[in-house]
């Protein structure tokens, strides 16, 4: 053991610990959020955390025999003379314990000659061995009973234990499978349940990094990075919910979306090749009485893929066309890629060039790579001026009538080889390069786009991005990129959206029906069922694949698809309430059961069920040909949404699920809002609202605002408390009245009767009519 000595200084919630060779800093932000920092003279800019997150906290620091102990009301941290860090919760349960042994690599060393033989048969031999390219590593001991969640958009299953991952934003066109280590987003946060005790670790370092969640050894897990300061946050909390809430407090929460953003959206690469095709799609939605809030325009609407242009050969009068669609209730979301075509006659390129707004080669020339427009330059989004410039140009699309902006290819993706890590970019106030900024390229583009839309419209911006970093949830919804029309990808949707939700991304979705490959009638049907509570609800597909609009497979698929879109619209007020709640507690809308029932060991590896808020449990069919499945119901009683049959929890039940049935269960004694079915969500306030009681009694808080702008931040919203007591006493109370008008009538559907409450303007009260 070391004969080192350890000393400390304690100043304003910052404890600096020294041994003979090194220094480590603990900064207490909250009783259960503590930063661990070691300065390696690298950038201290955080892209994930905005503003001051530190509050005044009571704490003690004491020197014990062999270590320094820092205690808050929630956590106890012991740092020994080797600067090893051990974290315990308030009752002394170990949460995060530095591993004292040596790592034992499982990597076999194979010489080049043998690699060549293996490759010649077509096997992959990775040359990009992130895990051996380590600048520093953080190794923590692992318990037999320890599960891992979070980590963003990784492939595979809900519980990340036993797998390894990289954090390096990357456009991966091959079918995403569980052995992939990285996709488009890097969200270096992990949540653990160690012997049932929750904690989190957030590594705020944008450089390439690696997570080994116990693949290499059953004795430890580790994080390593190729560069950057050692900079991580210990997240405590008495429940997994509290830990997640702390993470989203730190990195930010999804802002309230506009209400229409929760409605159905249709997309396809190729629609915007002609106005006629777009019109035809919109008309079909109307003809078949399918709701449609937005149609997404992929890259085809631009002039030779030049960003901020409209091809007027395809769209003669884009503004008129978009206004016309808008008047029918359909919005348009055009796409933007980062690549700006290298074209001396193109104003955006000229302007960017003149102002020095593009990423550069180390020799100072503009860095060029090929993307859709051909040879292109790449905006240097880490420069605040570039973000403002980009944001201002977004006005061009908004002035044409765009209701939001879709941003893609921002990993950044390139056609002629990966962008070299030496490419020069700006890190806010200092020069840097892609090596540091790759993982925040999409984040900064999303932020620029969000700010541009917000200042141009004053409305809640709709941005949808493919690449992201921790914190991007403050600016943009996300989709999971290019999935395929494959059953395993439908299966993966559940853990992937669940872990994204835990990682702060409450507003997320997958390409319904699958992007690449050809969908089938059964797959499309099961996909719309399984995804019907997905916060982002968008069907999108690639250029070259078979059509997958709801009507293309005939009457059966169409009517099931319509039935589920109806169901979605009934639940939109509930989803909106979940979002209003999320802005306060930072908990995801779509969530794995383990979040709500973190003390139930049965749900820790549950990959094919999810919950929506606290009250709805969904158990989709995600296997080809299956029409019956087992459903695990956690503690409590549950009501089948369709039949009303009641089931006891902590139990597996068998349910029939023929092709038109999505098993949905409502927690016994819930009151839920039940929205009206509409084909387009109106921006006019609703005059009435219906609530349904599931069970015998319940209580529900409902949120209402204009669904469009930011006035709710100034208190312009209403809260309604709807209650049915165990004696059957029903009441509706307006508990916050900041928004006019309030509902004129509120209907409450009880199992055996329907009550109508009328608003009395004078007394500001509801009473049974």
Q: Interface residues with ligand MIG (CB under 6 A)?
A: 269, 298-299, 335, 408-409, 466, 481-482, 540
CB of 589 to ligand MIG, least distance (A): 23
Closest to ligand MIG by CB, 334 vs 592, is 334
d(C-alpha 663, C-alpha 442), whole Å? 37
Residue 579, C-beta contacts closer than 8 angstroms, at least 6 positions apart: 254, 256, 257, 262, 506, 507, 535, 589
CB of 296 to ligand MIG, least distance (A): 9
Residue 755, C-beta contacts closer than 8 angstroms, at least 6 positions apart: 730, 747, 748, 768
CB of 31 to ligand MIG, least distance (A): 42
Is residue 742 within 8 Å of residue 718, measured between CB atoms? yes
CB of 390 to ligand MIG, least distance (A): 18
Question: Cα–chain-centroid distance for residue 609?
Answer: 18
CB of 179 to ligand MIG, least distance (A): 21
d(C-alpha 182, C-alpha 162), whole Å? 15
Helix (H) / strand (E) containing 406: strand 405-407
Closest to ligand MIG by CB, 194 vs 540, is 540
CA angle 263, 267, 271 (to 5 degrees): 140
Is residue 28 within 8 Å of residue 70, measured between CB atoms? yes
- Which residue's beta carbon is nearest to the bound ligand MIG? 269
CB of 545 to ligand MIG, least distance (A): 11
Closest to ligand MIG by CB, 269 vs 308, is 269
**Active-site choice (32, 411, 577, 609):** 411
Is residue 590 within 8 Å of residue 534, measured between CB atoms? yes
Closest to ligand MIG by CB, 271 vs 632, is 271
Closest to ligand MIG by CB, 482 vs 609, is 482
Residue 583, C-beta contacts closer than 8 angstroms, at least 6 positions apart: 253, 254, 255, 256
Closest to ligand MIG by CB, 482 vs 679, is 482
CA angle 587, 199, 75 (to 5 degrees): 115
CB of 319 to ligand MIG, least distance (A): 23
DSSP code, position 109: P
Closest to ligand MIG by CB, 481 vs 663, is 481
Q: Give the strand order in the sheet containing 730-737.
A: 698-704, 718-724, 730-737
Burial readout 479-492 (b: 16 or more C-beta within 10 A, e: otherwise): bbbbbbbbbebbbb
Closest to ligand MIG by CB, 371 vs 730, is 371
482 catalytic? Reply is yes
Closest to ligand MIG by CB, 158 vs 336, is 336
Closest to ligand MIG by CB, 97 vs 409, is 409
Q: Alpha carbon of 13 to those of 29, 35, 60, 591: distances in Å?
A: 8, 11, 9, 34
Residue 92 has phi, psi (to 5 degrees) of 90, 5
Is residue 594 within 8 Å of residue 603, measured between CB atoms? yes
Closest to ligand MIG by CB, 540 vs 702, is 540
Closest to ligand MIG by CB, 380 vs 408, is 408
Q: Any bridge partners for residue 512, and if so which?
A: 539
- Rounded (to 5) percent helix, strand, coil in the chain: 25, 30, 45
Is residue 762 within 8 Å of residue 737, measured between CB atoms? no
598 catalytic? Reply is no
CB of 706 to ligand MIG, least distance (A): 31
Q: Any bridge partners for residue 464, and if so which?
A: 406, 477
For the chain, the distance separating the N- and C-terminal CA atoms, rounded to the nearest angstrom, is 78
Is residue 454 within 8 Å of residue 461, measured between CB atoms? yes
CB of 611 to ligand MIG, least distance (A): 28
Closest to ligand MIG by CB, 310 vs 743, is 310
CB of 409 to ligand MIG, least distance (A): 6
**Active-site choice (337, 380, 482, 577):** 482
Is residue 665 within 8 Å of residue 641, measured between CB atoms? yes
CB of 703 to ligand MIG, least distance (A): 32
CB of 539 to ligand MIG, least distance (A): 12
Is residue 273 within 8 Å of residue 135, measured between CB atoms? no
CB of 420 to ligand MIG, least distance (A): 20
**Active-site choice (30, 86, 408, 706):** 408
The dihedral over CA atoms of 475, 480, 482, 488, expressed in degrees to the nearest 10, equals -170
Burial readout 636-675 (b: 16 or more C-beta within 10 A, e: otherwise): eebbbbeeeeebebeeebebebebebbbbbbbbbbbbbbb
d(C-alpha 199, C-alpha 94), whole Å? 10
> Parallel, antiparallel, or unpaired: how do β-strands 374-377 and 60-63 relate?
unpaired
Q: What totals of helices (H) and strands (E) does the chain contain, helices first?
A: 11, 49
421 exposure class (CB count in 10 Å sphere: 0-12, 13-18, 19+): middle
Q: At what angle are helices 384-400 and 318-327 packed, to 10 degrees? A: 70
HSE on the CB side for 558, CA within 13 Å?
11
DSSP code, position 132: G
Query: Cis omega (within 30 of 0) on the bond before 741?
Result: yes
Q: Alpha carbon of 314 to those of 132, 310, 761, 762: distances in Å?
A: 51, 8, 52, 56
Q: Catalytic residues, which ones?
A: 408, 411, 482
């Amino acid at each position: 053991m070391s004969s080192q000595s350890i000393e400390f200084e304690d100043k304003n919630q910052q404890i600096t610990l020294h041994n003979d060779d090194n220094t480590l800093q603990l900064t207490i932000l909250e009783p259960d959020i503590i930063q661990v920092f070691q300065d390696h003279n690298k950038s201290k800019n955080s892209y994930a955390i905005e503003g001051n997150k530190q509050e005044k906290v009571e704490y003690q620091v004491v020197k014990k025999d062999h270590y320094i102990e820092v205690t808050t009301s929630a956590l106890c941290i012991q740092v020994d003379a080797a600067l090893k860090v051990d974290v315990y919760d308030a009752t002394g349960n170990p949460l995060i314990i530095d591993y004292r042994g040596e790592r034992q690599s499982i990597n076999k060393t194979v010489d080049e000659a043998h690699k060549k033989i293996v490759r010649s048969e077509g096997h992959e031999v990775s040359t990009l061995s992130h895990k051996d390219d380590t600048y520093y590593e953080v190794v923590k001991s692992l318990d037999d009973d320890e599960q891992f969640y979070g980590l963003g958009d990784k492939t595979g299953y809900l519980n990340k234990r036993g797998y390894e991952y990289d954090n390096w934003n990357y456009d991966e066109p091959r079918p995403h499978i569980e052995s992939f280590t990285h996709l488009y987003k890097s969200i270096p946060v992990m949540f653990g349940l160690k012997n049932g005790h929750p904690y989190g670790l957030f590594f705020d370092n944008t450089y390439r990094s690696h997570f080994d969640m116990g693949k290499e050894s059953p004795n430890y897990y580790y994080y390593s990075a190729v560069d950057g300061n050692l900079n991580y946050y210990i997240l405590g909390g008495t429940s997994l919910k509290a830990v997640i809430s702390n993470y989203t407090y730190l990195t930010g929460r999804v802002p309230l979306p506009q209400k229409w953003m929760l409605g159905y959206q249709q997309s396809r690469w190729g629609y915007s090749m002609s106005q006629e095709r777009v019109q035809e799609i919109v008309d079909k939605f109307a003809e078949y009485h399918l709701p449609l809030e937005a149609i997404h325009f992929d890259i085809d609407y631009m002039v030779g893929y030049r960003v901020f242009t409209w091809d007027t050969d395809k769209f003669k009068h884009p503004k008129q066309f978009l206004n016309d669609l808008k008047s029918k209730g359909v919005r348009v979301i055009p796409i933007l890629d980062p690549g700006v075509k290298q074209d001396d006659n193109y104003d955006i390129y000229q302007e960017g060039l003149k102002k020095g707004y593009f990423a550069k080669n180390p020799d100072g020339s503009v860095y060029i790579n090929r993307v859709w427009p051909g040879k292109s330059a790449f905006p240097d989004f880490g420069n605040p001026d570039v973000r403002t410039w980009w944001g201002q140009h977004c006005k061009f699309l908004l002035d044409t009538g765009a209701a939001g902006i879709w941003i893609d290819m921002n990993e950044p993706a390139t056609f002629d080889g990966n962008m070299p890590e030496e490419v020069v970019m700006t890190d806010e106030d200092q020069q840097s390069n892609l090596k540091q900024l790759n993982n925040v390229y999409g984040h900064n583009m999303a932020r620029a786009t969000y700010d541009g839309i917000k200042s141009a419209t004053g409305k809640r911006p709709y941005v949808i991005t493919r690449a992201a970093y921790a914190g991007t949830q403050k600016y943009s919804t996300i989709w999971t990129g290019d999935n395929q029309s494959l059953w395993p990808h439908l299966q993966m949707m559940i853990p992937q959206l669940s872990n994204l939700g835990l990682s702060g991304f409450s507003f997320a979705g997958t390409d319904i029906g699958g992007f690449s490959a050809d969908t089938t009638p059964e797959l499309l049907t099961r996909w719309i069922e399984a995804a019907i509570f997905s916060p982002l609800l968008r069907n999108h597909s690639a250029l070259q694949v078979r059509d997958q609009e709801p009507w293309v497979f005939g009457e059966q698929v169409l009517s099931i698809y319509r039935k589920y879109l109806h169901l979605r619209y009934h639940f939109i007020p509930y989803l909106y309430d979940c979002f209003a709640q999320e802005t306060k507690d930072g908990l995801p809308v779509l969530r794995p059961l383990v979040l709500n029932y973190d003390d139930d060991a049965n749900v820790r590896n549950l990959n094919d069920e999810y919950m929506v808020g606290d009250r709805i449990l969904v158990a989709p069919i995600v296997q080809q040909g299956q029409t019956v499945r087992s459903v695990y119901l956690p503690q409590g009683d549950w009501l089948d949404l369709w039949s009303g049959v009641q089931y006891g929890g902590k139990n597996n039940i068998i349910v029939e699920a023929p092709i038109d049935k999505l098993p949905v269960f409502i927690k016994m004694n819930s009151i839920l809002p039940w929205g009206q079915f509409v084909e387009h969500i109106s921006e006019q306030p609703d005059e009435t609202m219906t609530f349904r009681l599931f069970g015998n009694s319940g209580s529900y808080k409902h949120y209402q605002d204009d669904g469009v702008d930011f006035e709710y931040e100034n208190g312009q919203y209403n809260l309604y408390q709807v209650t049915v007591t165990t004696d059957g006493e029903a009441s509706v109370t307006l508990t916050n009245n900041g928004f006019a008008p309030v509902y004129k009538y509120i209907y409450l559907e009880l199992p055996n009767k329907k009550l109508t409450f009328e608003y009395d303007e004078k007394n500001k009260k509801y009473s049974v009519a």
